[in-house]
Amino acid sequence: MIDLPKIPSFRLDGKRAVVVGASSGIGLGCAVALASAGASVTIVSRRINLLSNIVNSINQKGWRSDSQKLDITDVVEINNFFEIQETFDIAVFSAGIAKHTIAIETNENDYDNVMSVNTKGAYFFAQAFAERLISQNSPGSLIFISSQMSKVGGPERAVYSGSKHALEGFQKSMATEWGPYGIRVNSICPTFIQTPLTESTFSNKERLRWIKEKIKLGRVGEVEDIMGAVIFLASESSSLITGTSIVIDGGWTSS
């Protein structure tokens, strides 16, 4: 008989997770995935009124969740949130907005709105999460929901793409600094996913044709396509993975 390697667990029993932007779409999928794997999940959003039905639906499955209001554009509010909560082992930043215009027509207000959520919010949320872990001498996993647009560019997406490129830069530097404390920092980079946020894009036949031509597997993404990756990056199965991204793009960036 030989000693066979032990398969790492994908289970998250006993872990506490916080998911930002979980009121719909990818963030909701992340919250459901983590809860299904055994984590106790706190879902947060500025739109607190949208969260009660989500929490009820998750808990009716026999999983554990609760909700909190949090404006991730307010740094003071972010810090206060982490100060009053029990320490989280897992954090998923899935909040994001897009204001699609051709670059020459981007206005200052749209630029500031995108950056306040996609970059500033992400940065200071990550900082507060890591600061709490470091003070408690605890390891953890931080997962940014980024985008395939962090790897490429696209028409009418200069600001959005720029914000996601910045997110990838945060991820690599944070992973370098926080690795010695056992804090892993990674991102998930999806292609176009069928969510309320992308309805206007998919309703444009010309744009939909362009998207499907780019995706080698010939279909747009579904929220379910993201759920396995978030469990993986949150679990011990990815314990040696940090400072990198999982690109879920159907082959968009392969050529």
Residue 236 confidence (pLDDT): 97
Under DSSP, the state recorded for 152 is S
**What values do phi and psi take at 249, rounded to 5?**
-130, 15
Tell me the C-alpha distance between 33 and 227, whole Å: 5
Instruction: Render pLDDT for 228-255 as a digit per residue (tens, 0 to 9).
Output: 999 999 999 999 999 999 999 999 999 8
The span from the CA of 110 to the CA of 88, in Å, is 32
- Give the residues of the chain that fall short of pLDDT 70: none
Tell me the residue ranges of DSSP E strands in the chain: 16-20, 40-45, 64-69, 90-93, 140-145, 183-190, 245-248
The reported pLDDT for the residue numbered 197 is: 76
Q: Within its chain, how far is the Cα of 202 from the centroid?
A: 22
Residues acting as catalytic residues: 160
**Where does residue 199 rank: exposed (0-12), middle (13-18), buried (19+ CB within 10 A)?**
exposed
Give the pLDDT confidence score for residue 46 in this predicted structure: 84
Domain extent listing, the chain: 16-249
Residues, the chain, total? Answer: 255
Superfamily of domain 16-249: NAD(P)-binding Rossmann-like Domain (3.40.50.720)
The per-residue pLDDT for range 78-122, each reduced to its tens digit, is 999 999 999 999 999 999 998 989 999 999 999 999 999 999 999
